[in-house]
Amino acid sequence: MSEPRILFTSPWGPYPKRTVEDDPLDFFYYRNTLKQGLFQLRIFQSWHPLHFMAQNLPVGSTVLENPSPAEFKREVRSREYQVVALSFTQMLLGKVTEMARWLKREHPDIELVIGGYGTSLFTESFPLVEELRSLCDEICEGEGLAFFRTYLHDRWNVDVPTRPLTQDLVPACSSLIRSRRPLFHQLTFVSGLGCVHGCAFCATSHHFKKRHIQLFSGDELFAAIEAQAAEYPQVQSAIIYDEDFLARRSNVEALKRGMARNPDLRARPLLLTVFASLDSIRKYSVEDLLECGIGTVYIGVETMQEQTLVDEGLKKRTGDVEDMFRTLHEHGINTLGSLIVGWDGQTPAMAADDARRFIALNPTFYQVVPLHPSPGTPLWERLKNEHRLLDDYRIECDGIGDFNFTLQSSTRAEARALVSRTYSGLVDEGGPWPFRLAENLLRGYRNLHGSDKPLYRQRAAAYWKLLQPILPLALMSGSMFAGEAFRDRHRRFRKDLRDHSRRRYYQALIAGWALRPVLQLGSWWGRLKYRLQPHGDQPNKIRRRYD
């Protein structure tokens, strides 16, 4: 039996053209900077698992991301492939089913393997789900690389050699909304999959059956970081995908050892973004976080109400969240905070208090999302048993930006309005991301640069270096947002910057004035193109061949 060649592909486009607030897919991570006007970011993230599997299997393959129907069909018609592996999320069920219909009708000899988070739909018997099930040759539920190694051995008699895993993933690219001109890139790494916390709403935890699968040790991960940093010498940040990276002290110790022996990386700097629970962060000092190069922490705040934390069993959220955010910001470490709206047991007044207290945290980036049960999670099963899923619910029309069940204490419209008001309140409190970043970096610089610890002084120098290119945007934003709290923060920031470097302050101020009309014109042109284009903005297309 000859070795197969595999086509790894995402669902075909085009994806729905919607306003930013109503985007059901959020492929572009709009919501982390929502309501920030022309400063709002478009962040493109690749389908990393497809590349990871292709790089670690002993057969030839091609990865196709976000193809048009014509591009997908042309690739399949090349007759190179014996296997098509389709990864999808539940919101793309309709498109994946269309692809499977065409493939099995036109090329029945090609085997179809379905994987990704969308496979949780197979716990239900929706008509479209049953049709897709009937079209698949194999369904990969859980971790894909182990599945494919077994599949290649059992189905194709391909021996899989034991060798260290590698990862060379497509860097994330950030640009201003409706623009594809890169502002900055971020290296991407995967450390582990799954989550042991088992929150009732979490698709990740239950997709991997409340297990954590460690793909790379801390030392192996740092070796990959060093290699990618050398390949992309201008990139100054990296993100590590692991639902609770700080839960394993070995990860932190390995990064500390790696950074200690690589002074160039510390001085460059290359700051890391990690995901962590509040319970895990509390196990470390700020010095630990600085030593291992962490610059941003993604924290699932979920709720600020103690009773809701108890009712929902959110043990990962122990401790004083206000103090943690304040401490991180004082040391120049940025935050991405996530709040969930729609908890049972919360009155409208409690939900509004949740929003008010979350806004006061002033996370550097943020996410405010409706509570959204996915098939296969305990929350889904409970709401289904309580007959609270919407009567007109259709899985192929579902989207993460809306509620798909009947709320207990408010209407869907009221809860959606609270989500929108919270986003607006966040901007009134802290302004747009360039100012939020600049405020944290300057605060961290002022608090660390006079320290007697070399590590702190080096991090302070890194903060000052990172601050320079965003100062014009940060200063410019002061005249573009009307929130009273933001204006107070902006006045204090300008004073602190002038006190430290009057020359740098006025240089950045002049640059901001010159840049403002350029950005406004670019924003107007981008919005115009979006309205005129039939499909609006679409994610980047990627085709990468692995031999």
The structural domains of the chain, ordered by start, are 6-165 (3.40.50.2300), 181-430 (3.80.30.20), 439-519 (no CATH)
CB neighbours of residue 325 within 10 Å = 23
Q: pLDDT, tens digit, for every residue of 475-514? A: 999 999 999 999 999 999 999 999 999 999 999 999 999 9
Residues 224 and 166: their CA atoms lie apart, in Å, by 8
Q: How confident is the model at residue 393 (pLDDT cuts 50, 70, 90)?
A: confident
pTM, rounded to two decimals: 0.95
What is the per-residue pLDDT for 402?
A: 85
pLDDT value of residue 25: 67
Q: Where does 191-324 show beta strands of DSSP type E?
A: 192-194, 212-214, 237-241, 271-276, 294-302
The reported pLDDT for the residue numbered 26 is: 67
Give the 3-state secondary structure of residue 452.
Answer: coil
Q: What is the mean pLDDT of residues 337-359?
A: 96
Whether 117 and 153 have beta carbons less than 8 Å apart is answered as no
- Burial of residue 405 (CB within 10 Å: 0-12, 13-18, 19+) is buried
Q: pLDDT, tens digit, for every residue of 78-96?
A: 999 999 999 998 889 999 9
pLDDT for the residue numbered 19:
81
Q: What is the per-residue pLDDT for 27?
A: 58
Token pair in block for residue 183? 């502002």
Where is pLDDT greater, at 233 or 28? 233
Q: What percent of the chain has pLDDT over 70?
A: 99
Cis preceding linkage at 14, omega within 30? yes
Q: What is the mean pLDDT of the chain?
A: 94
Is pLDDT at 24 greater than 70 in this prediction? Answer: no
Distance CA 293, CA 274 (A): 10
Measure the CA–CA gap between 239 and 254, rounded to whole angstroms: 16
Cβ(85)–Cβ(111) below 8 Å:
no
pLDDT in tens, 457-473: 999 999 999 999 999 99
> Which pLDDT does position 487 carry in this prediction?
97
What are the Cα distances from residue 266, in Å, to 343, 362, 461, 541?
A: 42, 27, 10, 33
Question: Percent of the chain at pLDDT above 90?
Answer: 87
Calculate the dihedral angle through the C-alpha atoms of 212, 166, 88, 44, rounding to the nearest 10 degrees: 110
Average pLDDT rounded to a whole number, residues 57-72: 97
Q: At residue 248, does pLDDT exceed 70?
A: yes
